[in-house]
Amino acid sequence: MTFNDFTQRLAQVDARGIGIELAVLAACVALAWAVCKWFGRDQPKDSIWFGENTFDGVLFPLLALVLTDLARRVVIDFQTVLVLRIAVSVFLSLLVIRLFARVLRAVFPTSNLVRLIERTISWLAWIAAVLWIVGLLPPVLAELDNITLAFGKTRVSVQTIFQGVLSAGLVLVIALWIASTIEKRILREAVTDLSMRKVASNAVRAFLLLIGLLFALSAVGVDLTALSVLGGALGVGLGFGLQKLAANYVSGFVILLERSIRIGDNVKVDTFEGRITDIKTRYTLIRAGNGREAIVPNESLITSRVENLSLADRKFNITTNIVVGYESNVAQVQSILCEAAKVQPRVMTDPAPVAYLVNFAPDGLEFSLHFWVADPEKGKDNLRSAINVAILQGLRGAGIDIPYPQRVLRVESLPPEMAPAPNAVL
């Protein structure tokens, strides 16, 4: 429909026809809302179909679009249709916006770039809807088709570029949606190990994105045999400057497949110790007990020495040392140390806490208390502090001395002028 057709149709409508269309439109919207409300009662907040409020997902504009278009086809046989035609374009734009927004938020929940993409797609969708409503979209597309850009000996129109970008974006978003659905509905139930679930999720996403990209290129008329040149160029780039990047990606998949380190393990890399919170395809996130987080390239985890503190089991040993006086009862001190650890709910009973006399220090007897926990990610210093307080209270209650460093100075002789008087008090 051209702009003249739009103006003619606008002149032909009357108040009665507008009322009928508005009533039909209200019925379609109410029916779509009722269906979403009924089926979205128990859906999660991150559902792409229903969204956070059961009707701000993809399903509501899709149902409204289908119902409105069916109503438009019926009403057009009896009167001039204007409102329903506008509503179809509005719901179509809303469907595209919701599709891109929901899928991108589900796949990249913490990315700031997603917001920019959402706003860009919203502006383009609403501009296209307005142009289509007033009948200016066909001439705008014709003008874009006349504008060509030269790439070597090939000339490509701006319209072809826009169509290619739109097709590629739509196919890739659908591929991401399928990958996200497989990860949530299948992998979370079938794969219990976090590392294997991660590698399966990454592999499925990469495969679907590759297939979607090939379909998108074919849709815009790109000869796929030309990708061999791109593959050769990529190989040269990997050989010269991207080998580190490629090595990190390959190392990431090797780590996930070997399961030498897994999400949740406590590891020590160089001097940094913490718990692995996530394994990306290029790097691994390690979070220390004090809240600091290290980003370690995956290649470093493959080629350097890494201490996995929880590979054999989840038990983690913590120690604390104390020095008491030489006149103290060793068995009583050991009992006080062990009881101070046993009263803490996080301390494991198997193996039980144990205290050793490890050294005859210059100032007293040095004891070392060993105890084990199964949740080191909750912190070690806080538990050690609580046990030290209990040890201090127990030793004071038992009257056991905690000596402080003392040094005795013996003077064999003094010069006559520094000798003290006979009745002096020293």
Q: Which amino acid is at 226?
A: A
How far, in Å, are 69, 121, 131, 287 from residue 125 at the CA level? 18, 6, 10, 42
405: Cα separation from own chain's centroid: 52
Write out the chain's pLDDT in tens, 426 residues: 566 666 666 666 677 778 888 899 999 999 988 988 888 777 777 777 887 777 778 888 899 999 998 998 888 888 778 888 888 989 998 898 888 888 888 777 777 777 888 888 888 888 888 888 887 788 888 888 888 877 666 677 788 778 777 877 887 788 788 877 777 766 566 555 666 666 667 777 777 777 777 776 676 666 666 566 666 666 666 555 567 777 787 888 788 777 778 887 888 888 888 888 888 878 888 888 777 888 898 888 888 888 887 655 667 788 999 999 899 999 999 999 999 999 999 999 888 999 999 999 888 899 999 999 888 777 788 899 999 999 999 999 999 988 877 667 777 776 776 666 665 555
pTM over 0.85: no
Q: Are 276 and 285 in contact (CB under 8 A)?
A: yes
Spatial distance between the Cα atoms of 135 and 4, rounded to a whole number of angstroms: 8
Q: Is the dihedral of CA 103, 104, 105, 107 positive or negative?
A: positive
The rounded distance, in Å, linking the Cα atoms of 38 and 35 is 5
Closest CA to 266 of 387, 384, 374, 354: 374
Query: Residue 311 CB: number of other CB atoms within 10 A?
Result: 15
For residues 302 and 248, give the distance between their C-alpha atoms in angstroms, rounded to a whole number: 9
Predicted local distance difference test score (pLDDT) of residue 344: 92
For the sheet with 354-361, list strands across it: 316-324, 364-373, 354-361
Q: Which amino acid is at 65?
A: L
The string over 220-244, giving b where at least 16 C-beta atoms fall within 10 Å of a residue's C-beta and e elsewhere, is eeeeeeeeeeeeeeeeeeeeeeeee
Q: Are 295 and 282 in contact (CB under 8 A)?
A: no
In angstroms, the first-to-last Cα distance of the chain is: 115
Question: At residue 354, what are phi and psi to the nearest 5 degrees?
Answer: -140, 145
Q: State the pLDDT at residue 387.
A: 93
State whether residue 402 is helix, strand or coil: coil
Contact call for residues 407 and 389 (beta carbons, < 8 A) = no
Exposed/middle/buried for 252, CB within 10 Å: 0-12, 13-18, 19+?
buried
pLDDT at 84: 86
